[in-house]
Every structure is written in C-alpha cells, then in structure tokens.
Amino acid sequence: MADFTGEHTWLQIQHELSFRKLIEGSEYQEELKYDFNVKGELRHLDTNESFVFHYYKNACERNHKRYEVLGHLITQYVYELLERVCMLQKVYIPTDATEDEPRSLFFMSENALTSSSSLIVLLQDRGVFRAGQWGRRTIVSEGLEHGTQIPFIKTALQSHGGVFVLNPNDNFVDLKTEKERLSFSTREESLTSAQPVSWIPKRGSSSPEEHTLYVWDHFISKSAAKNVAFIAHGYGGLVFVDLLVQRKWEVMNKVYAVAFIDSKHNIQHQTRSDPHIQEWIQQSCREWVSNTKPLDKAVGSVMKVNCPTVSAGTEEYGLAPSCCLHAIFKYLKNTESQDHNGL
C-alpha cells in the first residue's frame, strides 16, 4: 500500500508522474502548454497562469474542442494516479465481455473483496468526468487536491482499509477512433457539422444507475466486509437511492452509513413513500450542502423528507467535497463505532 504519511505526500508523488508527458510529442504541445505543479495546480509552463479557455479568438467550437482534449488527458492522468499513487486495481466490466465488446471500468483497493475491514464506496456526480474525479472544472481551476477523489481515497485506505471508486459516467463508446475524436487537425467547419455521432452503450454500464447496480451485484455485495459506507456527490446521491430501492434489504443490511454531498436524490419520489427505506435513510444518512453557514452547522430542509442536513462549509458546489472531507470521515467513524457498540 502506498505511503500516505504527511498531508501532501501524494501531491509530491504525482508531480513525479508528469502530466506533461501525456502531451509531449503530440500535436497538442502549443495549444496545451500546461502541467500540474507540486501543489497539484494546473499552470501554464511559461506564464504560470491558470488555464485559459478562450485560447482562440472568436472560435467557441475550437476552444471547446481544446477543453475536451484537456479533459481526456486529465482522465488518463487521474487513472494513472489511482493505480500508481493510490495502488488501486483497474477492473473491467462486464466480467463476461467478449474480446471485441466495449467495456467500462472501475477501481478498487487490492483486498477490497477479501478483507473484513469496512469499505468506502465513492460515487461521483453526473458529467463528462470519469473515475477518481469529483469534477473536471474544479481540477482545472482549483487543482487535484480539490477536484479529484484522491484525498478521500487515501483517507479511506488509512481509516477503513478498503475502497471502491466507481465510474458511473463511462456509459458509451464512440465509433470514431480516439485520434479522430480528439485531433486538433480537424477542420473547424467539421466541428459544427450536423453529422450524426454513433454511440454504442456499454453493457452493464449504459447509465450511472446500471453501472452502480452492476458493481454492487458482482463485487460489493459479495465482499467480505460487513460494513460498507457510500460517499455520494450530486447525481451520485440519486443513483445510490436508486440502488437502495432496487436492492432494498441487501443494501440496508450491508451499508451502515451514507454521506451525501449536495445530493440530487428525491426520497419521496424515488422511494414511492416506502416507510422502511425512508426510515433507514433518516437514520443512516447525513447530507452536506453548499451553504453560507460554517461547516457541520445544521441546515433546515423543507423541500423533502430527508436525513439530517448540515453545511459543507462553502457556497461553491465544486469545492463542497474537499471542504467537508474531514467532517465526513469523522461522521463515518462515529457511526461505525456506534454500530459496533449496538451489536
């Protein structure tokens, strides 16, 4: 297991795995002259400035294309960090996929299935970003420590022992090749053409809900851990409640706590007023929301029947996960100890 002693050790390690190496030797060198510094911040190599979206004048489509390429490179880099810094294993699904079949993937710690230690499952918001990221925009503007899930992963490995990093947004494969899809050499007029894009859904992962259900059925539910906790951000909260409805008793027996962050779930609509599920959510879950109040201060919720709701300590949606990290793990630790004491 990686040595995570010290608050910023992993950032020093990531700096050695240069993001720049993914760009060098490619056609993107001038358009994307950026790298992550030792603090995990994305900075221009010459000016040390933050990422500039409007690189081309009066060319919205081309600027968006450039940002897409940056996002693709960040995905590859974060995958590398998950494997080489966090020492997680990449798992391809579906497990019975044929050689030519499109596959999705997720990450888990080495002994996640066999260890009796408690498990932490990370479930991100909906968007273009992939496993290991809370949000692409936050990574670009605020850095790896705020925008990636790595601080959560290293804390989970230290305090709980096992972790699953789901990949709920990896739902389709484009029939075009990666080179064609990501090439800057594509003429600008073709970027605005109305040609239909052919997408193939990935079996078992064609939606965030299906992906999460598949990983639960084939991996998490079969793990040796008796205590599982979910940390779910944004749409990930809705996805967890969908899982809870689909696998009601399984989930309620195996999951001891859920930390929602600005969750998009709706208990009344999703649970169809099931009293067992609603009672379990109120007793086993807590939600942190973007708010002006100090961290962990109670926030009233009149919009929906819900679990206890507290402030994330920030008004910025993208920063909410990193701001409430320590509060979440304190809550999980206290909840698990109370659970053990009650047995």
Mean pLDDT over residues 217-227, rounded?
Answer: 96
Asked if the structure places residue 74 within a domain, the reply is no
Mean pLDDT over residues 257-263, rounded?
Answer: 98
* Mean pLDDT value across the chain: 88
- The identity of residue 310, as a single letter, is V
Mean pLDDT over residues 122-127, rounded?
Answer: 97
Give the least confident one: 138-142, 169-173, 237-241, 267-271: 267-271
Residue 25 confidence (pLDDT): 60
CA quadruple 11, 73, 125, 323: dihedral, nearest 10 = 20
Asked if the structure places residue 103 within a domain, the reply is yes
Backbone angles phi, psi at 201, to 5 degrees: -70, 145
Asked if the structure places residue 29 within a domain, the reply is no
Asked if the structure places residue 270 within a domain, the reply is yes
Statement: residue 321 has pLDDT above 60: yes
Residue 212 confidence (pLDDT): 98
Mean pLDDT over residues 152-170, rounded?
Answer: 94
Higher pLDDT, 83 or 16: 83
Asked if the structure places residue 221 within a domain, the reply is yes
Mean pLDDT over residues 221-247, rounded?
Answer: 97
Whole-angstrom distance, CA of residue 245 vs CA of residue 238: 11
Please report, for the domain that includes residue 287, its CATH number.
3.40.50
Residue 70 confidence (pLDDT): 93
Statement: residue 145 has pLDDT above 60: yes
Residue 122 confidence (pLDDT): 98
How far apart are the two ends of the chain, measured CA to CA in Å? 31
Residue 303 confidence (pLDDT): 52
Q: Which two tokens stand for residue 266?
A: 């709706």
Q: Cα 41 to the chain's mean position, in Å? A: 18
Whole-angstrom distance, CA of residue 342 vs CA of residue 37: 47
By the 10 Å C-beta count (0-12 exposed, 13-18 middle, 19+ buried), 179 is classed as exposed
**Measuring CA to CA, which residue among 216, 1, 218 is closest to residue 88?**
1
Higher pLDDT, 302 or 242: 242
Look up the domain containing 253 and give its range: 87-341
Residue 192 confidence (pLDDT): 38
Residue 178: band (very low, low, confident or very high) from pLDDT cuts 50, 70, 90: very low
Residue 272 confidence (pLDDT): 78
Statement: residue 343 has pLDDT above 60: no
Q: Strand pairing partners for 199?
A: 174
- pTM of the full structure: 0.90
Mean pLDDT over residues 125-142, rounded?
Answer: 97
Asked if the structure places residue 149 within a domain, the reply is yes
Q: Which two tokens stand for residue 339?
A: 């659970």
**Measuring CA to CA, which residue among 265, 239, 252, 260 is closest to residue 339?**
252
Asked if the structure places residue 49 within a domain, the reply is no
Asked if the structure places residue 72 within a domain, the reply is no
Number of domains in the chain: 1
Residue 186 confidence (pLDDT): 41
Higher pLDDT, 113 or 31: 113
How many residues in the chain? 343
Residue 22 confidence (pLDDT): 84
Mean pLDDT over residues 212-228, rounded?
Answer: 97
Residue 1 confidence (pLDDT): 35
